[in-house]
Amino acid sequence: MHDEPSTWRPGPADERFRLDRAEQPPEIEFRPEECLPIVVGGMPRAEWLDRPYATRLARMIRAWQAGQLEQGDPPLVPIVVTDLWFLNDRDLMSQPSIAIGDPTRNAVTAWQATRLPRSLVVDGVFAIHCDPEFLDGGVCLWGEGVAGLDAAFDAFVGRYLDRYLRQMHLAAT
């Protein structure tokens, strides 16, 4: 460290953080039955690779809710959690959920991939597992490397997200 005074100063307010806080204020009470968990692995590699997709998906879900839900319809609250927390909370596990990340770094993906149908798979690139009717609220998706995860994420959002959210919100009411 240098003995000189620091020249670093905080930049302008983080607009994305401010908007996220406005949409999900920290004062709201946590109720597992109102959550839509987006699950990532708890290891550093999963945090590094998969959490940005989960955070992006949570923002997309809130935007969908703002445009699609009727006044007074209670939204499912998208919340990004780790696999360890999810698998140790029975109430949270009973909720619909979306697991993001390779089964080697996300225990929920590994668990769901054995029980959900393979809905869209491109061998060596990505996989999406979900019940195409969304009667089961579980979804898992992953890809080989960043390009594969990009492809899985885009395919899920483009092909399934709207129908999935409609079904999950219908089931929640």
pLDDT tens across 33-60, in order? 999 999 999 999 999 999 999 999 999 9
pLDDT reported for residue 7:
76
For the chain, how many structural domains are there in total? 1
pLDDT of residue 1: 55
Instruction: Read off the pTM.
Output: 0.89
How high is the pLDDT of residue 108? 97
Length of the chain: 173
Residue 173 is inside which H or E element, if any?
none
Residue 1 lies in a domain: no
Place of tokens 């393979």: 118
Task: Give a yes or no: residue 25 inside a domain.
Answer: no
Closest to 32 (Cα-Cα) out of 97, 83, 84, 101: 97
Average pLDDT of span 71-95: 93
What's the mean pLDDT in 60-84? 92
Higher pLDDT, 137 or 18: 137
Residue 6 resides in a domain: no
Task: Let me know if residue 85 belongs to a domain.
Answer: yes
Cα–Cα distance measured from residue 166 to residue 172, given in angstroms and rounded to the nearest whole number: 10
Q: What is the pLDDT of residues 94-153, one digit of tens each?
A: 999 999 999 999 999 999 999 999 999 999 999 999 998 999 899 999 999 999 999 999
Q: Has residue 141 been placed in a domain?
A: yes
- Could you tell me if residue 85 is left (phi over 0), alpha (psi between -120 and 50 degrees) or otherwise beta? alpha
Residue given tokens 């390779």 in the structure block: 102
Give the DSSP per-residue string, 63-101. Answer: HHHHHHSPTTPPPPEEEEEEHHHHHT-HHHHTS-EEEES
Query: Is 40 a domain residue?
Result: yes
At 19, list the tokens.
């908007």
Q: Which domain does 71 fall in, by range?
A: 33-172
Single out the residue of 111, 101, 117, 79 nearest to residue 152, CA to CA. 101
Closest CA to 98 of 133, 150, 55: 55
Q: Is residue 132 part of a domain?
A: yes
Residue 62 CA from chain centroid, whole number? 11
β-bridge partners, 82: 40
